[in-house]
Amino acid sequence: MSPLRRLLRYAAPYRGRFAVALAAMAAYGGASAWLAYLVKPIFDEVLIKQQSLSTVAWAILAAYLLKGLGSYASSYLMADVGQHVVLDLRNEMFRRTLGQSAAFFKSRSTGQLLSRLTNDIAQVQQVVSETVADLLRESMAVVGFAGLLFSYDAGLALVCLTGAPLVMYPLVKLGQRLRRTTKRSQEHLEHMSHVATEAFTGHRIVKAFGAEEREAARFGLAARALYRVNLAVTATVSVMPPVMEFLGGVAMATALWYGSREIGAGRLTEGEFTAFLAALFLMYGPLKKLSRVNANIQQSIAASQRIFELIDTRSEVPEAPGAPALPPLAQAIEFRDVSFEYEDARGKSALRHISFTVRAGQTAAIVGRSGAGKTSLVNLIPRFYDVTGGAILIDGTDITRVSLASLRGQIGMVTQDTVLFDDTVAANIAYGRPAATAAAIEAAARAARAHEFIAGLPQGYRTVIGERGQRLSGGQRQRLAIARAILSDAPILILDEATSALDSESEGLVQDALANLMKDRTSFVIAHRLSTIQRADVIIVLERGRVAEVGRHEELLAKPDGIYAALHAVQFAAPRRRAATAPAGKAGA
Ligand SMILES: Nc1ncnc2c1ncn2[C@@H]1O[C@H](COP(=O)(O)OP(=O)(O)OP(=O)(O)O)[C@@H](O)[C@H]1O
Ligand SMILES: [Mg+2]
């Protein structure tokens, strides 16, 4: 379907208002023509014969009143329709975008997405609320004026309006060109906001490495590219009005030359001729506006194509239509010959032929060197990504067959990089259970050993923690994330280096809380602490995307030359030396 027709479909629910706006436009067009018509009695009767002064004066007032009311009502109502369309479009776009897979967000930057949500929508908004109104309203005025011209002198009107079709061709050509330049302009805008978001979010690293000038230069380059293409847009847009104006001049000159002969021959009164000229003159404004309409429409087509492209992107973790809810986990989670490769790294498997089973209530520890595939493996369970081979089964049901909400509703997660929102401490802890009571939130915070530092914050649980929790320390952020997982009370728990940012003392305390939490749950734990791993029911050792060893602590330690034994020797047994072998990802977080 063409983007314009799709946009129109968004306007369909507001057709009542649209109809009233149309009526107001008709009034506007009629009043405009009426005003031009009044020029004739002004000349022929008021000025020459000194008659009907008050009638004409009242008529002028009435015509202006009608025109003003029509203009106001139509502008307001059309803007109302336009804003509604934009509102619906924005909400749908946001929802669709958020529903996309993790891979989608990896391939597009926040800046790009924001740019579509703001700049492209603004382009569309201009058209639906202003341009369409202009198109209809000014067309009606033009029809009114043209009617008047023809009623006075059809021949003269025909001569004056022959130029009109000539304008159409360049108008259409320019429109096509404009659609292309606008698309480029929006792309450059998107790139610029990408550069800016990246620099702003990474501002600390930028400063630490003294890269301000480099970032500024990068931004300057993007801004300059935008400037150039915007100028190209302007060059295209600005061609039309002068062309129109010149054609108007030609029409005027023709009318003057031809009209004076008609008056001389007595076929036209002076008043009629003046009214004719007035109508021609007044017609110019609407025509000029109309010449821009096509340009605006082409621009919004370019923008709406980009919007619909985003809305139409199908999520890579699709939910089967009418997918049933996953019943609560009762028996086991099974990885059956699971393979996985990232979309942007095809051919290079992140996980290969992984098979293991974790029974309900058990704790599985996943260990392996940095980059072995630990995070990739646990990300498959809530379907942030879908397996590319094999299947993950919960109680024998393939997780791709059940609804995403029911699957994710059973999973509590603490991720490697803590995600917090610019909201209060309490709201962050209760993110998974917004209805939780203050007492429940505090209990979760106590279990996560977070209560003490929260109590010390200026407004306690009501303290707003800043974007991404910037006002907290790394360890504090992590404890909030743990409290959130504790409160969510999900039967399946995924902890990806959940305690990595804590010092040994608070880590020990949180570890106890986590151990309590894990007791009646099925947990997948990526940890570096020996105690957690020792307690695990099953340890899965990953090595370059494969399961190298599976077993319990003692079994694995007993293996001579085992990977686990080697890891154990350098990593778990000597936590102080871990700083040197810490995954690179954390250094920058
Ligand atoms: N989004 C991605 N796109 C492409 N490749 C990725 C992506 N994320 C991770 N990888 C690659 O997949 C492999 C496994 O990464 P993963 O994050 O699972 O390792 P990890 O075991 O969790 O490591 P760490 O202990 O450092 O957290 C790595 O080689 C990594 O480069
Ligand atoms: Mg990881």
Q: pLDDT tens digits, residue range 162-196? A: 766 776 777 778 888 888 888 899 899 999 999 99
Averaged pLDDT score across all residues of the chain: 85
Q: State the distance from the centre of ligand 1 to the C-alpha of 371, rounded, in angstroms.
A: 5
Residue 168 lies in a domain: yes
Q: How far is the CA of 525 from the centre of ligand 1 (A)?
A: 16
> Among 283, 312, 341, where does a domain finish?
312
Assess whether pLDDT exceeds 70 at residue 290: yes
CA distance 305 to 322: 30
Residue 477 counted as domain residue: no
Distance from the alpha carbon of residue 359 to the mean position of ligand 1, in angstroms: 26
Q: Are residues 95 and 163 in the same domain?
A: yes
Q: Is there a domain that residue 423 lies in?
A: no
- Nearest ligand to the CA of 544 is 1
* CA 545 to ligand 2 center in whole angstroms: 12
Q: Which two tokens stand for residue 394?
A: 């919960």
Query: Does position 217 have pLDDT exceeding 70, yes or no?
Result: yes
224 in Cβ contact with 254 (< 8 Å): no
Would you state the pLDDT for residue 587?
35
Nearest-CA residue for ligand 1 atom 24 is 370
Quick one: 307 and 334 in the same domain?
Answer: no
In a domain, 517, yes or no: no
Backbone angles phi, psi at 468, to 5 degrees: 50, 25
Look at 257 and 161; give whichever has higher pLDDT.
Answer: 257
Residues around the ion ligand 2 (C-beta < 5 A): 375, 416
How many whole angstroms separate alpha carbon 182 and alpha carbon 170? 18
* pLDDT score for 577: 42
Measure CA of the first residue to CA of the last residue in the chain; give whole Å. Answer: 45
Residue 393: give the domain boundaries.
Answer: 330-410+522-582
pLDDT at 351 over 90: yes
- The pLDDT of residue 235 is above 80: yes
**Of all protein residues, whose CA lies closest to atom 16 belonging to ligand 1?**
373
Contact 405, 350 (CB under 8 A): no
Nearest CA to ligand 1 atom 31: 371
Residue nearest (by alpha carbon) to ligand 1 atom 6: 342
Cα distance between residue 222 and residue 111, in whole Å: 13
Give me the DSSP letters along 381-392: TTTSS--SEEEE
pLDDT tens-digit map of 13-54? 999 999 999 999 999 988 988 888 888 888 888 777 777 788
Residue 564 predicted with pLDDT over 50 = yes
Same domain, 83 and 205: yes
Q: What is the CATH number of the domain that holds 574?
A: 3.40.50.300
pLDDT at 579: 42
Q: 412 has which bridge partners?
A: 493
Residue 507 lies in a domain: no
**Ligand number with the minimum distance to the CA of 584:** 1
**Which range, of 106-115, 213-222, 225-234, 438-447, averages the lowest pLDDT?**
106-115
In this prediction, residue 239 carries a pLDDT of 79
Do 346 and 290 lie in a common domain? no
Contact indicator for 340, 514 with CB cutoff of 8 Å? no
Give the ligand 1 atom nearest the CA of 374: 21
In the reported structure, the alpha carbon of residue 195 is separated from the centroid of ligand 1 by a whole-number distance in angstroms of 24
Bridge partner list, 493 = 412, 523
Final residue in a domain of this structure, among 312, 341, 373:
312
How many domains does one find in the chain? 2
> What CATH number did the domain enclosing 225 receive?
1.20.1560.10
**Could you identify the atom of ligand 1 that is nearest to the CA of residue 103?**
1
Closest approach atom of ligand 1 to CA 106: 1
Ligand 1 environment, Cβ below 6 A: 106, 342, 344-345, 350, 368, 370-376, 416, 583, 585
d(CA 100, CA 404): 12
Residues 151 and 88 in one domain: yes
The reply to whether 259 and 371 lie within a common domain is no
Residue 15 makes CB contacts below 8 A (sequence gap 6+) with none
